[in-house]
Amino acid sequence: MKIKNVLLTGAGGKVGKAVLPELVKAGFQVRALEYSDGLEVERLKNVEIVRGDLRNSELAAKLIADMEAVIHLANVKENRELFLDANLKGTFYLLDACKQSNHIRQYIQAGSDARAGIYYYPHPFPIDENYPHSGYPGYYPLSKVLEEVMCEQFRTQYQLPITVLRFSWIHADDDILAHITLREPNFGVPVWQDWASTPEQKRYFQEGLDGVACLLHPGGSAGKRQIVGVKDVVKSIMLALNNPTAVGEAFNVSGPSPFAYDVLARYVSEKMNLPIVNFTVSEFNDFSIDMNKSRSVLGFNPDYDIFRIVDEALEFRRAGKKRPDCLYPG
């Protein structure tokens, strides 16, 4: 395909700031969209920074002018007021501008496993790419489903060369520790404090004690889910970009395998010398993500299992690094 330049939206966000230097390293000329929410885009050579708001219907055509590819990451999360305009109109304006141009060779849309309902619904089999859209309750999953439906229609109606990458819950920095330990910072769902029902569980929050959460089903077995490290997300984007076999396809992008909360809790408990606090929860359904298609078609082989994600999170804390401001803790 020989794509040489690419528009990157959401370039100041969690994924955007991780993928931008890799695009530059790979030799792409990048036009990076920076939005005025304080998430600044790193100033790098071969990166043209454009400031703007995707809700502005005039912007998309200017952004894609001279571009050969689009990586659309910009998004607001669980925001009832903004998601229709920023996510749906924003995606529509970009797709429509691409349709009207004749120079976009690939459009990559950030999708999400939220579109398949993750732990909110029972999943007797690994979730593969053919699993029907079934977002869990909330505006964010609704948005991820509707963005994908729009992409599917632009592919069907206008043969736009679209690739959808459906990321699992993405972990960077010390996200996994913020998720699994009880004291702040807190990150992601479930929120342990909301599920504290026994006097022992409540005591941790009342007294500000720290511990490692372990999610159990009522029968006593540990909950299982699958997440992905941000470096693997970057790897998937780099494998999909400029790859003709990726065009017209959707791919799951997750870690190498699901993890069990008891295994994670034991590992973190030993490393941080913290007690394990069990949370027995009936609302959680195990799920895993089928990675066969992305492995065989993209050659995507994720490097970050749960232990490596934890090890890098511990290093992040040991180095005294600060978590970036988080617009949405999930």
The residues of the shown chain that bind ligand NAD, judged by CB under 6 A, are 9-10, 12-16, 33, 35, 37, 39, 53-55, 73-76, 86, 90, 110, 112, 167, 169-170, 327
Number of H helices, E strands in the chain: 11, 13
CB of residue 273 vs ligand NAD: minimum separation in angstroms?
28
Q: Which is nearer to ligand NAD, 235 or 269 (CB)?
A: 235
Q: Which is nearer to ligand NAD, 9 or 278 (CB)?
A: 9
Question: Which of 276-310 are b and which e, b meaning 16 or more Cβ less than 10 Å from the residue's Cβ?
Answer: bbbbbbeebbbbbbbbebbeebbebebebebebbb
- What spatial distance separates the first Cα and last Cα of the chain, rounded to whole Å? 35
Kindly state the greatest CA–CA separation across the chain. Answer: 64
Give the closest residue to 240 by CA, choosing from 159, 167, 297.
297
Q: Which is nearer to ligand NAD, 221 or 257 (CB)?
A: 257
CB of residue 98 vs ligand NAD: minimum separation in angstroms?
16
CB of residue 175 vs ligand NAD: minimum separation in angstroms?
9
Residue 187's H or E segment, with its range, is: none
Q: Which is nearer to ligand NAD, 73 or 212 (CB)?
A: 73
CB of residue 199 vs ligand NAD: minimum separation in angstroms?
33
Q: Which is nearer to ligand NAD, 155 or 204 (CB)?
A: 155
Token pair listed for 143: 């948005």
Specify the 3-state DSSP secondary structure of 74.
coil
CB of residue 278 vs ligand NAD: minimum separation in angstroms?
26
**Inter-axis angle of helices 139-158 and 90-100, nearest 10:** 10
